[in-house]
Amino acid sequence: MKLESIVAKSWGVEDRLYTYSYNNAGLSLKGDQTSSPIGNGFLGILPTDIAGRTSYEGYRTVGNDFRINHRDACGILLLGIWAEHSWQNESRLGLDLTTGMLYDVNKNTNSPVYYNFDAHLNALQPYVEYAWQATEALRIRLGLRYRDVTRDFDASVVQNFLSGPPGQVSKTVNSVLPSIDATYRLAANSNVYAQGSKGSLVPSQAFFYTANPAAGNRASPETSTAVQLGVVRQAPHYGIGFDLYSIQFDNYVSTIVQDGDTLYVNSGAVRYRGVEIEGHVKVGAGLTVVANASLLRATFQQPDMTSLIQLAGDTIPYAPSYIGLLGLTYAQGPWAASLLSKFVGTQYQGKSGSADGGTYRVNAYTYTNATVTRHLGDCLAMRNVRLTFAINNLFNSDAITDNAGPSMAAPNSSLVNVLPRRNYMLSLVADL
């Protein structure tokens, strides 16, 4: 819900109240889709019964953004305060799908509970911003935000069958976040821009998924300082953009094992640097060629942040050397379609990144998806009805996407995930 009002000639007030929610409950197999026996070790349960799970997940978010704006001869002043509250409930139980009875999958507590927790997140953020029109071609925007975030976690059982804390665990962080950006118009359709900002991550709920959730408070959220410089041109039949960026992350979060328990701790700094380019060209008859590419270098800034073998300058985990996309889109009349290929460069997935060598290395891979959409217009009480047919992994690639390292059962082999085989999806979407 949005309310707007003009208080005076140069003053205005705006208030936005919003909420959204998600609920999901259902059954699933514990193992693969063809054979999921419970196995031995469960008293009174036949090992040949089919192992399943019954799960519930629900959350709701309510927020409000109130702002006052004032226009003067040089620009626009914006004062505001944003507040948001969300709550989440999740649980999962072990279910014998053959008999319909619960069974004690959690051997630590002799119960059927995989996990059961409630969580809350509260955020309060006052902010001020001034957009200064320095000249007809130059616009500079200055901003300052103060953010206060509290995450609460209350669990009887957390992930990995671990007992929850004796009461609620809470984590509060606050940050002062300045920003500046400038845009200069080179020509009618061309602009050059520069941006600088400071940011911080919300405390991760995963910090509490340990045998001692209170110890998760040892980790502070990562903070960042980002700088970006770019140029963009938009014309009737094509568009192109190019930028350079550098992002310094402090309080990098890694894991340590203490008394057999995995804990999250702050280790130091990492830096992301990259080059990005994207563009499109309309070739006619509803067809458009689209492309984008990004070269990325993400490195540890200090040694020994995750292990004794990790050095300053090593590539951090889960940072591909490049990402790209190339393809065609079509839109004409009631029909739309796309044929897009995604390219992902080499990455390392062990905690020490490239310092782990080839043990956790994932080589570059590519996959292609295709979609066809028919717009059906308004139907019954629904608006903008769309029917879409999609083919994912069109060429049936079996490239490795995840590497968990050597298998305990076969040390000379690695535990990996590959791209899902070619699959098809038919969906019907409408606006209410």
- pTM for this model (two decimals): 0.80
Q: So what's the pLDDT on residue 168?
A: 85
Given CA atoms 366, 369, 399, 31 in this order, what sign does their dihedral have? positive
Decide if 272 is inside a domain: no
**DSSP annotation of 419:** P
Asked if residue 54 is part of any domain, the answer here is: yes
Domain extent for 164: 1-202
CB 230 within 8 A of CB 192: yes
Q: What is the pLDDT along the chain (432 residues), one digit of tens a residue?
A: 778 777 778 899 999 999 999 999 988 887 665 568 888 888 788 888 998 899 999 999 999 999 999 999 899 999 999 999 999 999 999 999 999 999 988 887 788 999 999 999 999 999 999 999 999 999 999 999 999 999 999 988 887 777 887 778 888 889 999 999 999 999 889 999 999 999 988 878 888 887 777 766 677 778 999 999 999 999 999 999 999 999 999 988 877 777 666 777 788 899 999 999 999 999 999 999 999 999 999 999 999 888 889 999 999 999 999 999 999 999 999 999 999 999 999 999 998 999 998 899 999 999 999 999 999 888 777 788 899 999 999 999 999 999 988 887 777 788 899 999 999 999 988 877
Asked which of 202, 235, 260 is the last residue of a domain, the reply is 202
Burial class (CB in 10 A: 0-12, 13-18, 19+), 376: middle
**187 and 104 belong to one structural domain:** yes
Asked if residue 158 belongs to a domain, the reply is: yes
Q: Does some domain include residue 401?
A: yes
CATH number at residue 137: 2.40.170.20
For residues 190 and 304, membership in a common domain is answered with no
CA distance 35 to 198: 50
Q: What was the pLDDT predicted at 81? A: 97
Count of domains forming the chain: 2
Residues 292, 191 share a domain: no
| pLDDT for res 309 | 93
Contact 221, 203 (CB under 8 A): yes
Tell me: do 424 and 307 sit in the same domain: yes
Same domain? 77 vs 167:
yes
Q: What is the pLDDT of residue 295?
A: 97
Whether 198 and 346 share a structural domain: no
Specify the pLDDT at position 186.
94
Q: How many helices (H) and strands (E) in the chain? A: 0, 25
Domain contains 237: no
Predicted confidence at residue 41, as pLDDT, reads 81
